[in-house]
């Protein structure tokens, strides 16, 4: 039987990379399309995926639509990547975030239970669940302490995934992924905001770059590496939870330094602080321990932060030049 995958959030950064990865492995790929008024397929076009997949209309908040989509796709593997994923917005839209990012997970789990509970399920959990960190290095055993409506919603989805695994014997796994970026990252996230800003400053289209807390530290990896870990989790005999990270943490400040150095500039001359970008509650530092993923999945991050940021700056230079 051919392998069939169903991806929610297929128009997002990870959805596009995962679709590309699964097509290359010979999967038939279906995606849930939360139809908006404007085109959301630029990432799928960028990776030459759009014409090779089948999109099915539906929203994560609409259980009936998800059931209908699963009946059409008949997937053997389901990847739940859809979410309101921007932490900053989650204070402005806490209820929508709860519905899409939290209840949406239960909708997908229920839809699987009602259609074919033998399908394997991947939940996009997050290092944001560690929030106010309880251990210097965070592993699968570290207690959670979310610090945003987004983190709280994700923690609910995480525990529902564990609960469906334990209650209904479903092959449901959670990837606790630390930040991962790429040239397909949304412009609102700090790495892409910086690499786009660097390109605009270098090309004379912008004079400075306004940021918030540049002392925050993140464990940043490359999204293209991380989608392989999602797939590996669903190839295991037993479902489980895995931290996916590089094991290296860097300040936003140092990430800026790398980005500006790529074009021969000093970040200190361009980066300005705007308190409007401070968050009501901050996650100051994240640092993952990917030892379990290494030993059980034989997975480790391949791309360094310098390689990642340089890749993103180069892509933004090309994009801004073409505008």
Least CB distance to ligand GDD at residue 113 (A): 26
Which residue carries 């389901």 as its tokens?
Answer: 78
- 117 interacts with, out of ligand NAP, ligand GDD, none, CB within 5 to 8 A per kind: none
How far does Cα 106 stand from its chain's mean position? Answer: 19
Nearest-CB residue for ligand NAP? 12
**Residue 272: how many CB atoms within 10 A of its CB?**
9
Separation CA 242–CA 178 (nearest Å): 11
Interacting residues toward ligand NAP by CB under 6 A: 8-9, 11-15, 32, 34, 36, 40, 59-61, 81-85, 100, 124, 126, 177, 179-180, 186
Cα 239-243-245 angle, rounded to 5 deg = 140
Please give the residues from 124 up to 153 whose contact with ligand GDD meets the rule CB under 6 A. 126-128
Shorter beta-carbon distance to ligand NAP: residue 178 or 202? 178
Q: Quick check: 178 binds ligand GDD (CB under 6 A)?
A: yes
Separation CA 303–CA 308 (nearest Å): 6
Shorter beta-carbon distance to ligand GDD: residue 180 or 262? 180
Separation CA 63–CA 57 (nearest Å): 12
Residue 132 structure tokens? 């106010």
SS3 string, 133-147, reads CCCCCECCCCCCCCC
Q: Could you give the count of Cα atoms lying within 13 Å of 269 in the half-sphere of its Cβ? A: 10
Least CB distance to ligand GDD at residue 133 (A): 11
Cβ atoms of 240 and 299 within 8 Å: the answer is no
Separation CA 234–CA 237 (nearest Å): 8
Give the residue numbers annotated as catalytic, written as ranges.
126, 128, 150
Residues that contact ligand GDD, how many (by CB under 6 A): 24
- 165 interacts with, out of ligand GDD, ligand NAP, none, CB within 5 to 8 A per kind: none
The sign of the CA dihedral 135, 138, 140, 145 is: positive
Q: Quick check: 179 binds ligand GDD (CB under 6 A)?
A: yes
- 255 interacts with, out of ligand NAP, ligand GDD, none, CB within 5 to 8 A per kind: none
- 277 interacts with, out of ligand NAP, ligand GDD, none, CB within 5 to 8 A per kind: ligand GDD
- 279 interacts with, out of ligand GDD, ligand NAP, none, CB within 5 to 8 A per kind: ligand GDD
Where does this chain bind ligand GDD (CB under 6 A)? 85, 87-88, 126-128, 178-179, 188-190, 193, 211-214, 216, 218, 252, 277, 279, 282-283, 286
């Amino acid at each position: 039987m051919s392998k069939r995958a169903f991806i929610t959030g297929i128009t997002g950064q990870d959805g596009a990379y995962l679709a590309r990865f699964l097509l290359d492995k010979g999967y038939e790929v279906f995606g849930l399309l939360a139809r908006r008024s404007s085109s959301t397929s630029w990432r799928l076009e960028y990776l030459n995926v759009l014409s090779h997949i089948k999109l099915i209309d539906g929203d994560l908040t609409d259980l009936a639509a998800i059931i209908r989509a699963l009946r059409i796709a008949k997937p053997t593997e389901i990847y739940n990547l859809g979410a309101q994923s921007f932490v900053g917005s989650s204070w402005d839209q806490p209820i929508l975030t709860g519905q899409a990012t939290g209840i949406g997970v239960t909708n997908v789990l229920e839809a699987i239970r009602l259609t074919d509970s033998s399908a394997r399920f991947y939940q996009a959990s997050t290092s944001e669940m560690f929030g106010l960190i309880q251990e210097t290095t965070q592993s699968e055993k570290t207690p959670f302490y979310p610090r945003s409506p987004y983190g709280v919603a994700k923690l609910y989805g995480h525990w529902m995934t564990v609960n469906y695994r334990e209650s209904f014997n479903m092959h449901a796994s959670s990837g606790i992924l630390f930040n991962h970026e790429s040239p397909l990252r949304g412009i609102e996230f700090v790495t892409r905001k910086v690499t786009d800003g660097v390109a605009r400053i270098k090309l004379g289209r912008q004079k400075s770059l306004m940021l918030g807390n540049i002392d925050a530290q993140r464990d940043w990896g490359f999204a293209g590496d991380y989608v392989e870990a999602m797939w590996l989790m669903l190839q295991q005999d037993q479902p489980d939870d895995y931290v996916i990270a590089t094991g290296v943490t860097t300040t936003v400040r140092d990430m800026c330094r790398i980005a500006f150095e790529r074009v021969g500039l000093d970040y200190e001359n361009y980066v300005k602080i705007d308190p409007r970008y401070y968050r009501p509650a901050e996650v100051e530092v994240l640092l993952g321990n990917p030892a379990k993923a290494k030993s059980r999945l034989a997975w480790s991050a391949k791309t360094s932060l310098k390689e990642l940021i340089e890749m993103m700056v180069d892509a933004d230079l090309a994009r801004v030049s073409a505008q």
